[in-house]
Each structure stands twice: as C-alpha cells, then as structure tokens.
Amino acid sequence: MAEKSFKYVILGGGVAAGYAAREFAKQGVKPGELAIISKEAVAPYERPALSKAYLFPESPARLPGFHVCVGSGGEKLLPEWYKEKGIELILSTEIVKADLAAKTLSTASGETFKFHILIIATGSTVIRLTDFGVQGADAKNIFYLREIDDADTLVEAMKAKKNGKVVIVGGGYIGIELSAVMKMNNLDVSMLCPEDWFMFRLFTRDIAAFYESYYEHKGVKIIKGTVAVGFTADSNGEVKEVKLKDGRVLEADIVVVGVGAKPLTALFKGQVAEEKGGIKTDGFFKTSVPDVYAVGDLSTFPLKMYNELRRVEHVDHARKSAEQAVKAIKASEEGKTIEEYDYLPFFYSREFDLSWQFYGDNVGDTVLFGDNNPASPKPKFGTYWIKNGKIFGAFLEGGSPEENKALAKVARVQPHVESLDLLAKEGLAFATKI
C-alpha cells in the first residue's frame, strides 16, 4: 500500500480535531501540510448536539447544521472548508497501530501515514455493560451514544417504539440530557441513578433536589441507589426487561446506557507517559515523546489554578486544549513562546426549559442562594463553594450571559468571603460586584 506523508497529523475526528484545524488555518498552514485521520465518515462536528437537538421531536439538528465550530459561535467548517484550506480529511479510516518513535500510523489494510508532528485527539469511548459481563447486555435496543451513527440508530428505535418505555442507565450528563429529550418525544422514561442523587460528581444534594423534582413533574421517574444487573430479551432478541440490583424489574422497549467513558489511549500504551488514566502532558499539551501532543478528554495536564494534574472530560476543554496545542506548535517553530494553558473548569447543560452553568471546583462548604422552587415560572438560583475562606466554585441556573460571565470571574479570582450567611443573602449580587 502507498505511504502518505504529512507535516502535521491530527488523529481523531471529534470536536478537538475541528478546533485544531481551524487554529492551524488561522496560523497559516500550507496546503498539503495537515491531515485529519478519523474513523467516522463525516467531518468534525459538535458532539454535544447528539444528546440534545439531534433527538428533538420537532426540527431536529442534522448535519451540516452542527459541524464545528458553531458550538462556540464560530463559522461552520463544512467538508469544503478543509478542501479550500488544503487540509486532507481522511475519513472512515481506523488506525490500528501507532509507532511514535518511527512517526508512523497504520491501518488494518496496511495503509501507513507518516507524520512530523502528531496531535492525538482520539477522545474517549463509552464504557459498555458488556465489558463487565452484565447478563443480557448484548440484547437489541440497548444503546450507547457517542457518535452520529449511534444517534441515528437511536432515532430509528424511537420511531419504531413510539410511546414506548425507555430506561436510561446512569444519572450523569447523558442520563439527564437523554431523559429530558426522550420525555419530549412522549416516551415513558425511567432514569436509573446509582448514587443518592443525580449528577452526583458535580451537584450538591440541594441542587440535585431541584432538578429531580422538576424532572418528576415532567413525568420522568427517577430510581436512585440501585444499578442494572441484567436484561431479558423477547423472541426477537430485543430488550424487554431491566433487572435491578434491589430486585425490582422494569419493563423496557429501549435502554440507553450512559455510565461514563474511558480515554482511547490503547494505541500508545508503553510509548508515552500516562497519568490518571490519560496521556500526561505539559501546559502546552506536549507529551513525553518529542513532536507528539495530546488534547481533549485523554490529556492529563497541569491545571494551573489548582496546582495539580487533572484530566477534564468536557467539550469546552476539548476546544481550548486543541487551540493551545496548535499555538504551541507554531510558536516553537517560530522560536516564540506562549503562555501556559490556564484553564478555568467549566461545565454546562440545557434540558427542558432549564439552563445551568458551573465554573471552578466543587470543593469545600456550600451556600445556596436564589429561587430554587421547581414550581416557579422562572426559577433562578445558584451555589457557591467555599474553601479556606475563598470561593472556589460557582453554579447558576437560569442566568443571563452577563451573570454567567460574573460567575466565571468569581471562580477565577477566588475572592475572600467574610461570612457564609452574608454570602447567602447577597447571592448573585456578590458575583456581579467582583
């Protein structure tokens, strides 16, 4: 097979790849220098759309509507854009072997790609219940959501099982977003949440109580403190029941599993330093191997604000880390320096008529403020996290763009707090004064 050679190769075709390509174009990449190799069949797109607008019952999002970089208010990069810029999009191509020392990537059919500089942007893959040998987890109509093909098969199942029963396994991001969108499709929705409340890793009990009540009012059944331990199928091999650890059995026409993801690092095992489940990088996303960078979900990088190494799975970090790596590559070629990555952790979600944003770190004592009555016509409330007398994190439901910006500033500046009672009284006003 012929060998192709590029100055720069981005391995992976997700959000990070698209934002890296845009940054390369901004920095003046020459035609033929850059290739993106992706196992998906489409140009990079904004992955969060898959658990939201893609599944809407009316006016659902479809490509080319959500190619990158529309998710951050930028220009949509259609396949033609890459052509115009002389960037080679190598799609439907799975790399099965990476030799970082020899600077080659190979496919199962023997195609090889040489690179001078590599950006690893392979992201994560979903954790599957079959990985744990869960009984019956290979039945039909048990879905995972990571790529556009997954979303398409789920859409078909939703049409086939109109008004049917859906069980969502997992109470994290995928769980809350899919429960909402499935309910909007008039399906009968139960969400299994293994912990004491949903969004357990981020929300406090008080924050979760608001959303749980809101969801229940919308008709979503939330089952907490138990997990799925098995599935039964009908004569067609389609899932019909979910067995719970506490002995209960739920009927199901569709099951969607969202129990987390794991970074796709297997290709690089033993070739590159790893830490905390990801590929270890510096503040420029350089790995331990010269000319190899790692961005997005799979990079474990120095989080400057908190002086610790961390891995962040979120679209905001995928975008920003990709841009940082490309800026660092171009700066080092020109003998210039850039600032180290100084990331403020940011998470957000939209479901039903709700919209929340969180900035910083959810550590320390908490103060709840505002109107968190789920029955309010326009609930608006928030929480501050206080550690060592300083605000470390801030959350707001129903905020305006200006208010969310004020929240981000508070989490970044970490102002000192005199009194928690006073802070609770001041609420959002405290942030808008900073």
pTM: 0.96
Angle at 122 between CA 345 and CA 69, to 5 degrees: 60
Average pLDDT score over residue span 177-193:
97
DSSP assignment letter at 198: S
User: Is 70 exceeded by the pLDDT of residue 209?
Assistant: yes
User: Is 90 exceeded by the pLDDT of residue 290?
Assistant: yes
| Alpha helices (runs of H) in 110-262, residue ranges in sequence order | 148-160, 173-184, 205-217
Q: Residue 209: how many CA atoms within 13 Å on its side-chain side?
A: 9
- The candidate with the shortest Cα–Cα distance to 361, out of 325, 321, 388, 400, is 388
| Domain pair 3-125+262-333 / 129-259, same fold | yes
Alpha-carbon gap, residue 402 to 425, rounded angstroms: 20
Average pLDDT score over residue span 364-376:
96
DSSP assignment letter at 57: S
Alpha-carbon gap, residue 296 to 315, rounded angstroms: 8
pLDDT at 256: 98
Domain 129-259 class, CATH top level: alpha beta
251-278 residue pLDDT tens: 999 999 999 999 999 999 999 999 999 9
Given the candidates 3.40.1450.10, 3.40.50.12780, 2.70.50.60, 3.30.390.30, the CATH classification of the domain at 353-433 is: 3.30.390.30
Angle at 101 between CA 315 and CA 313, to 5 degrees: 15
50-90 residue pLDDT tens: 999 999 999 999 999 999 999 999 999 999 999 999 999 99
Confidence of residue 2 (pLDDT cuts 50, 70, 90): confident
Angle at 432 between CA 430 and CA 434, to 5 degrees: 75
Domain ranges of the chain: 3-125+262-333, 129-259, 353-433
Given the candidates 3.50.50.60, 2.60.40.1930, 1.10.730.10, 1.10.1740.10, the CATH classification of the domain at 3-125+262-333 is: 3.50.50.60
Q: What percent of the chain is predicted at pLDDT more than 90?
A: 99
pLDDT at 166: 98
pLDDT at 1: 62
The Cα-based distances of 398 to 349, 376, 402, 407, 427 in angstroms read 11, 12, 12, 12, 14
Mean residue pLDDT of the chain comes to 96
What are the backbone angles phi and psi of residue 179, rounded to the nearest 5°?
-60, -45
Alpha-carbon gap, residue 44 to 74, rounded angstroms: 14
DSSP state string for 169-188: E-SSHHHHHHHHHHHHTT-E
| Alpha helices (runs of H) in 55-109, residue ranges in sequence order | 79-84
105-153 residue pLDDT tens: 999 989 999 999 999 999 999 999 999 999 999 999 999 999 999 999 9
219-251 residue pLDDT tens: 999 999 999 999 999 999 999 999 999 999 999
Q: Residue 47: how many CA atoms within 13 Å on its side-chain side?
A: 27
302-339 residue pLDDT tens: 999 999 999 999 999 999 999 999 999 999 999 999 99
381-396 residue pLDDT tens: 999 999 999 999 999 9
Establish whether the linkage from the previous residue to 64 is cis, with ω within 30° of 0: yes
